[in-house]
Amino acid sequence: MKILAAGDHFVQNGLLIDAVRRAVPGEVDFRELTLPWPVEPFGRVGEVDEASDVEDELIEALDGVEVCVTQMAPLTQRVLDASPSLRLFCVSRGGPVNANLEAAAKAGVAVTFAPGRNAVATAEHTLAMLLAATRRIPQTHADLAGGVWRGDYYMYDRVGPELEGSTVGLVGYGAIGRRVAGMLAGFGAEVLVFDPYVDDIEGLVGLDELLARSRFLSLHARATPETTGMIGAAEIAAMPAGSVIVNCARGALLDYDALCDALESGHLFGAAVDVFPEEPIPAGSRLLTTPNLVMTPHLAGASKETAVKAARIVAADVARYMRGEPLEHPANELIP
């Protein structure tokens, strides 16, 4: 069997190949293709999103290949049409947005993915962003590095709240949201949750109540037609004055113009975001000049453990495929 490892500079080919060799007994014929992400940003390729623009290189590498393990390779209709031997396409990320699932199903190509691979890393980054925004860590570091001692940040009207005793609202309670909730409990915070798909937890409330009661708001939902733009001007205005918003999920969940308005007006004490409506952030974006906004370049899930877990999860499904067993993380259903 020929397997293509189409890794990149995060989920590297060495990690993918080592994981498959550990999971699959016997000899495997590997080919390798190294994609340019994250040195070169992902984007829309053909009809798929968040992919590396390497259709031509991928088509050449997939010649005679039955299984592909990757993170950012674009599984487009064009790639499928040119790759008749392909039967399994493993996307080592939490959502296979870089794969045309319907076209793959029609072509007899099963697609798998790696849910939960970055849950710990993203939860830890969320807490770091929440604390950075509340304690003004990036701003005060920049001031000190520039030789400015900002003692005025110690004034009562300029300091932020503590997590202990505060109410934190979580929108979404999947693998990441649950971990964030556990971490917040260690800080002594009260946690409220809005998630229409869960019903087995304490603190579950409607979105209106969550917004009205939460001094901190952290987003953990997937981007769907129902969740796109779910936190806009009206929702931000419904939060208590001096609140903090964190978004390490998807840029589509949050109205960023409304966020900037609320920061500029002072209604929000601060905000921290790892994801954006357009990535990279375009030159001239008001996000670059809005006060009290902490930003990181979509790297909440960036840890060594995330890359290793991602490779292990997809390798396990490669092994199931080779044994003729049902896949653990199927993203599509083959069409006879």
pLDDT tens readout for residues 253-271: 999 999 999 999 999 999 9
Question: Are 56 and 172 within one domain?
Answer: no
Q: Are residues 226 and 89 in the same domain?
A: no
Domain identity same for 95 and 195: no
In a domain, 48, yes or no: yes
Q: Would residue 334 count as lying in a domain?
A: no
Same domain, 265 and 165: yes
Q: What are phi and psi of 128, to 5 degrees?
A: -65, -40
**Confidence (pLDDT) at 200:** 84
Q: Is 45 left (phi over 0), alpha (psi -120 to 50) or beta?
A: beta
Residue 25's pLDDT is 87
Can you give the pLDDT at residue 26?
A: 84
Asked whether residue 193 is domain-assigned, the answer is: yes
Examine residue 332 and state whether it is found in any structural domain, yes or no: no
CA distances from 198 to 201, 202, 222, 235 (A): 8, 11, 14, 22
The per-residue pLDDT for 27 is 86
Q: Which amino acid is residue 327, in one-letter code?
A: L
Half-sphere exposure of 229 (CA within 13 A, CB side): 5
Per DSSP, which regions of 173-226 are E strands? 190-194, 216-219
| Model confidence pLDDT, tens digit, residues 20-46 | 999 998 889 999 999 999 999 999 999
pLDDT of the residue at 289 = 97
Amino acid at 39: V
Given CA atoms 91, 93, 97, 98 in this order, what sign does their dihedral have?
negative
Tell me: do 155 and 285 sit in the same domain. yes
In a domain, 131, yes or no: yes
Domains held by the chain: number = 2
Residue 231 lies in a domain: yes
Q: Are residues 28 and 64 in the same domain?
A: yes
Is 77 a domain residue?
yes
The residues that are catalytic are 250, 279, 298
Q: Nearest Cα to 263, choosing from 284, 289, 285, 283?
A: 289
Strand partners, 218: 170, 246
Say which CATH number the domain at 102 has. Answer: 3.40.50.720
Look at residue 37 in the predicted model and tell me its pLDDT. Answer: 97
Please indicate, yes or no, whether residues 147 and 259 belong to a single structural domain of this protein.
yes
Which residues are CB-neighbours of 112 under 8 A, at least 6 positions away? 88, 89, 90, 91, 96, 314, 317, 327, 328, 329, 330, 331
Do 134 and 279 share a domain, yes or no? yes
The verdict on 229 and 308 lying in the same domain is: no
Looking at the structure, tell me whether residues 166 and 268 fall in a common domain.
yes
Apex 101 CA angle, 88 and 221, nearest 5: 115
- Could you give the CA distance from residue 175 to residue 153 in angstroms, rounded to a whole number? 36
Instruction: For 75, list phi and psi in degrees, rounded to 5.
Output: -90, 85
List the helix and strand counts (H, then E) for the chain.
11, 13
Residue 50 shares a structural domain with residue 65: yes
Shared domain check, 143 and 291? yes
Q: What is the strand order of the sheet 243-247 is part of?
A: 190-194, 167-171, 216-219, 243-247, 268-273, 293-295
| Residue 329 lies inside a defined structural domain of this protein | no
What residues make up the domain containing 64?
A: 2-117+303-323
Residue numbers of the chain with a pLDDT score lower than 70? none
pLDDT of residue 292: 97
* E-strand stretches of 105-171: 110-112, 167-171
SS3 helix, strand, coil % of the chain, rounded to 5?
35, 20, 45
Among 242, 239, 277, 238, which residue's Cα sits nearest to residue 256?
A: 277
